[in-house]
Structure 1
Amino acid sequence: MKKYLLTVILILTLTLSFSTSLLAQNVPIDEVTKITVEGNEYVSDFEILNAVQTEVGDQTDQQALRSDMQAIFDLGYFSDINIVFENYEGGLNVIFEVVENPVLKEINISGYEEIYTAKEVRQALDLQLETVLNVKKMNENLKAFQEKMQNDGYILARYRDVNISDQGVLTVKISPGYLDSIEIKGNTKTKNDVILREMPIEAGEIININKIQRGYQNLLRLEFFENINPELERVESEQNLAKLVINLEEGKTGRLNFGGGYSSTDGWLGFVDVSEKNLFGNGQNIGAKWQFGDTTTYSLNFYEPYLWDSKYSFGFSIYDRESERTNDADQDYIRESRGGSVTFGRPLPNDWRTSLRYRAQDTEEYWSDDGTEIYDNSLRSLTLGFSRDTSNSRFHPTSGSINNFEIEHAGDFIGGEMDFTKFNLDTRRYFPGFSDHAWALRMKLGLSEPRTPLDSEEYDLGGSDSLRGYERSDFDVDTRDNNNLLLFNVEYRIPFNESFTGVLFTDAGNVWEDRDSIALNDLRYGYGLGVRMNTPVGQLRLDYGWDDNQDGQLHFSIGNTF
């Protein structure tokens, strides 16, 4: 992405005028018997003479006196300085004649109102009324404020006028720089409004490079485009206008995948997956999946990020899942779950989003050999969620974070046979490692208040997505309910090329029935190494982990861990 620094700094400067008696004529050579100042009304003699190096008893020297004049001028209080000489007690009285700048009576600043408060600007200029204007200090502060505007992203901001009148009125006019228009090039499928709604800046607004960068990240997250190149082009210099040109190269958004393999979570499986991330160029996401094998799943999902062109998002999913399982007594049973969900979401300030989801699910379990029913239950719940994603990449983040917090309530007025409240926190942090390596950290906390047994809604631990080196059955105990969970994951990720990434990991976690039993000294540990492979199906994961007893476990799955 090209960044253009289209900034002109216009700062008031004054020119030092040396007297012709000093520069064009010979300075009388004699002993300096007195040094005085004339013309100053507000600036003290002491402050002026403190800048003078020539002393009483010295011989007059043209270069030294020139340096003294410059030093007085550098104090910033004067618009003109001259030197005259008078005979005094057998030598010379060196008189510095100064012309003070106006006394600052009023400060008028304009053009900042949309980006800063008046208090912020006045604090940045740091000029006091009823004092002689110090041009040196003003120039330094104007330059510092210019740098602040640049650092805050206002790359076109400049001073259009800086002027001090004889009456002591300082006028500072700021031209912040406005966006004339946004031009989109290269999109053949995606509609313009789908692109523009991802840009947090519109025509007519003050240009801020940080907003443009956020829009660039938003477009990347859509995964609609192979290349995105935003550029600023100057439109009109006098009015300080520029247009934003977004150059795009669209990629493939439809996908048809099929295949098979083995998952340590779901056993042997085959799948057919059809999806479209940019339905008819409207930015909608729709997908259908059929997975078969030890686990059979039919699912359909749809997501509209801007419902009726509003800030609200809408999504729904329906699924039918049947899986073959084995309990800790080596008895085979089948679990069937059918249900779906409807979700509404809305953005919040500072990149946060909130969502409200209604979920309905009916679950049945029965023995594999004779079909005798073991368990039959219905779930109806509402989930309030808050999320924030500031990671710099979806596939290999090296900075930023992802935070998700949810409160799910089932039963009561919502209906269903299950009655509980769950609090779920999932927070992730990413840090750069050596070279292009990265550290990835996650903490997951689940707390529940069951008023009926959780059964199918208990927390699972063990397997490829949580505590590697263990199977889920290692934490399923008939004598207790897994009502609470605490999990930590640390990965060091080493990209080999665009397709393969190596991983070293350490996991720690456990599940408890009672919240009071949660303790860090009761965690189970796993560690190991793995490899990630990017394919058209998605990211494939292969991990080998060891548990507390040094027993090894192979884990295979699809999709990133966290």
Structure 2
Amino acid sequence: MKKKILVRTLIILSCALIFTGLAAAQEIPIDEVTKITVEGNDYVSDFEILNAVKTEVGDQTDQNELRSDLQNVFSLGYFSDVNIAFENYQGGLNVIFEVVENPVLKGIEISGNQPIYERDKIIEMLDLNLETVLNVKKMNKNLKKIQEKMQDDGYILARYKDVNVSDEGILKIEISPGYLYSVGVSGNTKTDSKVVLREMPIEAGEVININKIQKGFQNLSRLGYFKNINPKLQRVDGPENSAKLNIDLEEGKTGNLQFGGGYSSNDGWIGFVDVSEKNLFGNGQNIGFKWQFGDTTTYSLNFYEPYLWDSLYSFGFSVYDRETVRTTSTDSSGDLDYLKKSKGGSISLGHPLPNDWRTSLRYRLEDKEEIWDESSDDDKYQEGDLIDGSDKDLQSLTLSFSRDTSNNRFHPTSGSINNLSIEEAGGFLGGDMEFTKYNLDSRRYYHGFKDHAWALRMKLGLSDPRNQSGGLGSEEYDLGGSDSLRGYEQSDFDSNEHDNNNLLLFNVEYRVPFNDSFTGVIFTDAGNVWEDQDKIKLDDLKLGYGLGMRMNTPVGQLRLDYGWDEDSEGMLHFSIGNTF
């Protein structure tokens, strides 16, 4: 018996030397393997351990193969130590894998001043079972996945401060998420720092998330106040695992005096004067006055406060007086021009919603009338006469939901802009017009070849008119012209036979910038208007297509489009600003 123990002890020592690479191969007893056993395992089955061993009964002992078996057993993850011993057995050797099991997992504790994820979420990602031997391999693999997820989710400073297992089987994980020590603003000579900081969805003391910082950068870019925005994140020597954010700015021009003129196929000869300031006194308020004259004459004054009294509510108002020349087809006298007049104003109140959505409620009060601008041959329609039934008072409430994730306010190449609104007129609000309108305007932008861009829009308008005439009157949908269906005039869709109560419009543009001033456009439009909703059909859409040019000028972007209709008849469109 003593001999057996002595032999076993010498073989264990020799094996230890082998696996440190310091023993010669001849020190291992070269003999047939007659048995393979496991010792030291109370929870992990012999079957699971031996399944990782490639050496089989009947093999000759082999140094490399035994080293591989030892590594395979250890790689199972259940053991803190693994050794190999040998015993003489039935004329050969019993190869014994001696293992020391990890503690049985009794509990998991997650600590950190402010864990990035809820405890239950981390436990789920760890995927470790209680009352079983801790599998360190699986634990390390899943801890790495959690670390990668934290990085992917924007927590760029997050790391494990400590991971250990107590003798009682309690796994303790301490996460250091990384905190924002401070936020500073520099370079702003006009804009108040609070205007900048309120656009950042992260404050000092919060866990650093690079996605929030990037979102703030996009918010600041959309304001259009600055030429350059350079956010810098630097580690600090203060609290452990923290950094400070400094937003370095270069102010841009925010006040504009624009004037110009030209010819629009929709509105004839036009001129305009536009005075605006989008960062009034550096407080982030927007005010503007516009005068447009020609076939369409408009006076308008607008004001917008995005953070009313430093709250999350926005406030805006507008007053306007608009007069437009339109053409209609009468029963007996051919085409006649008439003046479409409207004057009034609106006030609105808005508030942000989750996931970048925003809602607003607008009250509109407007006085409308239509007057003949020329006389008919039979004296039935006389210049200056009010068109019967056109003098109406409109009072409405509009509930809107909007979301803007485009990457650039003026030249977007990615993201989307969505607007959904419901307008209720008449009823308890009073006024002469009663209807409900549902409007959806959805725009999507994609990168094209190199710096090119795709721009897509779908516009849907549905209504429920409750006037005696069964139509919307002056509130009916317009279609045709430079801002909707190019290749057609707006009057192409005016009809005495039906009211334009419903609209469906699709626009597709492929935009090719030549330089900072000029952009070429290839476009296709499709749309139509209907009186009844059940008559809306895709195969009833009118098609327009063509080419265009955009020119950036000190007075804004000028648009020149040439479109063809379904009959291949061409039409030139001139306007100001992006189509969508």
Matches within 5 A, 1:180-329: 180-236=181-237, 239-328=240-329, 329=334
Give the greater-gyration-radius structure (CA). 2
Residue identity opposite 1:372 in structure 2: D
Q: Do 1:21 and 1:83's aligned partners in 2 also have CA atoms closer than 8 Å?
A: no
The DSSP-based 3-state class of the residue aligned with 1:268 is strand
Aligned partner (choices 409, 413, 419) of residue 398 of structure 1:
413
The answer on 1:491 being equivalent to 2:509 is: yes
The DSSP-based 3-state class of the residue aligned with 1:104 is coil
Q: Which residue of 2 aligns with 1:41?
A: 42
Q: Can you give the 5+ residue segments of structure 2 that lack an aligned partner in the other structure?
A: 1-14, 375-382
Q: Which residue of 1 aligns with 2:535?
A: 517
Q: Do 1:430 and 1:441's aligned partners in 2 also have CA atoms closer than 8 Å?
A: yes
Matches within 5 A, 1:332-347: 332-347=337-352
Q: Which residue of 2 aligns with 1:32?
A: 33
CA distance 1:72–1:242, shift in 2 (3 Å): same
In 2, distance between residues paired with 1:55 and 1:207?
55
In 2, distance between residues paired with 1:553 and 1:137?
69
The answer on 1:477 being equivalent to 2:495 is: yes
- Measured against aligned partners, the alpha-carbon deviations of 1:4-42 in whole angstroms (never above 9, x if no partner) come to xxxxxxxxxxxxxx8347544432333322222211111
Shift of 1:151: 0.8
Shift of 1:114: 4.7
Residue identity opposite 1:352 in structure 2: W
Aligned partner (choices 436, 440, 443) of residue 428 of structure 1:
443
Residue identity opposite 1:339 in structure 2: G
Shift of 1:135: 0.7
In 2, distance between residues paired with 1:478 and 1:62?
98
Q: Where has structure 1 moved over 4 Å in runs of 4 or more?
A: none
Q: Which residue of 1 aligns with 2:6?
A: none
Q: Which residue of 2 aligns with 1:15?
A: none
Q: Which residue of 2 aligns with 1:372?
A: 385
The DSSP-based 3-state class of the residue aligned with 1:65 is helix
Q: Which residue of 2 aligns with 1:526?
A: 544
Q: Which residue of 2 aligns with 1:75?
A: 76
Q: Which residue of 2 aligns with 1:12?
A: none
Q: Do 1:21 and 1:84's aligned partners in 2 also have CA atoms closer than 8 Å?
A: no
Q: Which residue of 2 aligns with 1:19?
A: 16
Q: Do 2:187 and 2:248's aligned partners in 1 also have CA atoms closer than 8 Å?
A: yes
Q: Which residue of 2 aligns with 1:179?
A: 180
- Measured against aligned partners, the alpha-carbon deviations of 1:275-310 in whole angstroms (never above 9, x if no partner) come to 111001000001111222222221111100000011
- Measured against aligned partners, the alpha-carbon deviations of 1:251-289 in whole angstroms (never above 9, x if no partner) come to 010111112111222221222111111001000001111
Q: Which residue of 2 aligns with 1:331?
A: 336
Residue identity opposite 1:371 in structure 2: G
Q: Which residue of 2 aligns with 1:6?
A: none
Shift of 1:521: 2.1
In 1, distance between residues paired with 2:93 and 2:476?
99
The answer on 1:151 being equivalent to 2:169 is: no
Structure 1 window deviating more from structure 2 (390-399 vs 438-447): it is 390-399
The DSSP-based 3-state class of the residue aligned with 1:198 is coil
Q: Do 1:428 and 1:443's aligned partners in 2 also have CA atoms closer than 8 Å?
A: yes
Q: Which residue of 2 aligns with 1:89?
A: 90
Residue identity opposite 1:341 in structure 2: S
Shift of 1:519: 1.7
In 1, distance between residues paired with 2:540 and 2:66?
81
How many residues align? The count is 545
In 2, distance between residues paired with 1:547 and 1:507?
10
In 2, distance between residues paired with 1:412 and 1:86?
98
CA distance 1:69–1:238, shift in 2 (3 Å): farther
Aligned CA RMSD, in angstroms, stands at: 1.7
Matches within 5 A, 1:537-556: 537-556=555-574
Aligned partner (choices 463, 473, 483) of residue 455 of structure 1:
473
The DSSP-based 3-state class of the residue aligned with 2:138 is helix
Q: Do 2:508 and 2:525's aligned partners in 1 also have CA atoms closer than 8 Å?
A: yes
Q: Do 1:444 and 1:487's aligned partners in 2 also have CA atoms closer than 8 Å?
A: yes
Q: Can you give the 5+ residue segments of structure 1 that lack an aligned partner in the other structure?
A: 1-17
- Measured against aligned partners, the alpha-carbon deviations of 1:111-149 in whole angstroms (never above 9, x if no partner) come to 386532222111110111111111111100000111111
Q: Do 1:19 and 1:81's aligned partners in 2 also have CA atoms closer than 8 Å?
A: no
- Measured against aligned partners, the alpha-carbon deviations of 1:201-239 in whole angstroms (never above 9, x if no partner) come to 111111111111111110000000111111211114862
Structure 1 window deviating more from structure 2 (125-134 vs 321-330): it is 321-330
Residue identity opposite 1:47 in structure 2: E
Structure 1 window deviating more from structure 2 (299-308 vs 329-338): it is 329-338
In 2, distance between residues paired with 1:435 and 1:403?
26
Residue identity opposite 2:101 in structure 1: E
The DSSP-based 3-state class of the residue aligned with 1:373 is coil
Shift of 1:364: 2.5
Shift of 1:57: 2.8
Aligned partner (choices 500, 519, 531) of residue 501 of structure 1:
519
